[in-house]
Homo-oligomer: A and B are copies of this chain.
Amino acid sequence: MREVSPPLGQDAVRQYLEAKRDEHLNLLRELVRQPSISAQNIGMEACARLVQQMMTEFGIAAEVKPTPGHPVIVGHVQGDSPFTVLFYGHYDVQPPEPLEAWHSPPFEPTVRDGRLYGRGTGDNKGQFLAHLLAVRALLEVEGRLPVSVKFIFEGEEESGSVNLPAFVEREQELLRADFAVTADGGMHPSARPVIYYGCRGILYVEASAQGANQDYHSGNRGGVLPTPAWELVHFLSDLKGPDGTVRLPGFYDGVRAPSAEEEGMLAALPFDGEQFLREHGLTGRPAPRGVDYYRALMFEPTMNISGLVSGYGGPGAKTIIPHEARAKLDMRLVPGQDPEAIFAHMEAWAKERHPSVALKNLWSWPASYTQPTLPVCRQVEAAVEDVWSQPPLKLPLMGGSVPNFVFTQTLGIPAVIVPYANHDEDNHAPNENIRLDCFYKGIETSVAILRRLAELS
């Protein structure tokens, strides 16, 4: 198919996109300038309204819909074909801390060296805006869309999308579509484009232990008060051993080793171990093999400590017995693992072995997976190649998590992830950024996806 219909040649839409680059960058700046930190409930309503306003101006029928948490924005445009693609994105961002590590303030988007820096540039504002600008371009240049388009942009992805599953369940009619496409995450470190056919799930648990009614002097009370920091340490060291094995019974239920064919796929993916070490400040350590690296990211779960806090963390010495201790545990789960079942195992196990530790389930998504051989998947591959002039790398899963299970499980439609951001976007970290060329090519890719999907109808 690809050779007969290059959907983005030197056509009018491409010329339009080139002429509009500065305007598109300014729209992205405007989105990034508006903080929208879901975990801290900062700027959420204002950001939702800003997105809706942009959509309306672009010619998309858009509505801000309330949830028990942060609102969801939905939108749609009728196309020439009844075939409907549903674009998902999220307008919330991660907390920007530690602020002192940013070279320019997180909510003052700044261009340096061909990248736009700011919280949310890559994750996910620059990526979902690309979909919107693609639709706007087609409408302005051609006056119509080749297929029908729906949008769902949520405000809680960085906080576990707690209200998304119920929203999608309730609004199945409104969201009915044939295929879901998400642009999130980063391209391959080799700079090649990527398609992910699924992603790991997540279970995010806060573990806490309480002692006395406040912090006390570690000398005057040392030896006679409960020590929640130690209780938490012993809970954690019991949960995962020094060898990295999770000791929680049931944690590995459903995990399967990759097949020989899958191992072959992983081994075929490009990987530069020295580049990996260099980029992460790990030079001098042994470089991982590519197949081990990809197996760890796609076929193995993690038990990660995202945060650990008790007592005094400032400079110098403060001598207290902290009265509480908290750990934030995030687990990335592979297909077959059930986050709810794992949390139930963890609660029972902690009650038995660490009764002073309380657990709270903050986030719970199963993994999701779509067959790469489906025709819709082939069309997206073709669209990516149209824009990038090389076939995308096909990765079974992404290591990170997006709530694609609401599409594959709740709506029952295939779903893929096509990252538009550079691999070193530093999402969730200081100095998050998106390369400007990635942002512009992302818009072209969304145009190409709509055109390639039209070939199916």
Q: Which A positions have Cβ atoms within 8 angstroms of B?
A: 38-40, 94-95, 97, 101, 158-160, 185-186, 199-200, 202, 204, 212-227, 229-230, 232-234, 236-238, 240, 242, 244, 276, 280-282, 285, 288, 293, 296-297, 300, 302, 304-322, 325-326, 328, 330, 332, 362-363, 398-401, 426-430
Contact = CB atoms under 8 A, between A and B. Distances in A.
A328 B306 contact: no
A224 B308 contact: no
Contact of A216 (B40, B217, B429): B429
A306 B312 contact: yes
Contact of A317 (B218, B326, B328, B427): B328
A15 to B, nearest CB: 35
Contact of A214 (B229, B310, B429): B429
26 contacts: A39-B316, A94-B319, A158-B318, A202-B319, A204-B317, A212-B281, A215-B428, A218-B302, A218-B306, A220-B398, A221-B280, A222-B400, A223-B296, A223-B297, A223-B300, A224-B276, A226-B285, A306-B318, A307-B310, A307-B314, A307-B318, A308-B308, A308-B311, A313-B328, A318-B328, A319-B330
Contacts of A282: 212-213, 225-226
Given A97-B314, A219-B399, A429-B215, A288 B224 contact: yes
A351 to B, nearest CB: 16
A322 B302 contact: no
B328 A305 contact: no
Given A306-B320, A313-B313, 17 more contacts: A94-B318, A95-B312, A200-B219, A213-B280, A216-B429, A217-B400, A218-B428, A221-B297, A222-B304, A222-B332, A224-B297, A233-B233, A233-B236, A306-B321, A307-B310, A313-B326, A317-B362
A201 to B, nearest CB: 10
Nearest to A229: B305
Q: Which of A314, A325, A362 has the most CB of B within 10 A?
A: A314
Contact of A400 (B219, B225, B280): B219
Ordered nearest first, which 4 A-B pairs have the shortest CB separation? A213-B281, A219-B400, A39-B316, A309-B313
A377 B409 CA distance: 79
Given A314-B39, A317-B362, A302 B222 contact: yes
Given A304-B218, A318-B39, A296 B428 contact: no
Given A212-B282, A223-B332, A307 B297 contact: no
Nearest to A292: B224
A216 B280 contact: yes
A92 to B, nearest CB: 11
Contact of A234 (B224, B237, B297, B316): B237
B233 A237 contact: yes
B40 A314 contact: yes
Q: Which of A220, A233, A288 has the most CB of B within 10 A?
A: A220
Q: Which of A38, A202, A309 has the most CB of B within 10 A?
A: A309
Contacts of A330: 218, 222, 317, 319
Given A306-B318, A307-B318, A429 B224 contact: no
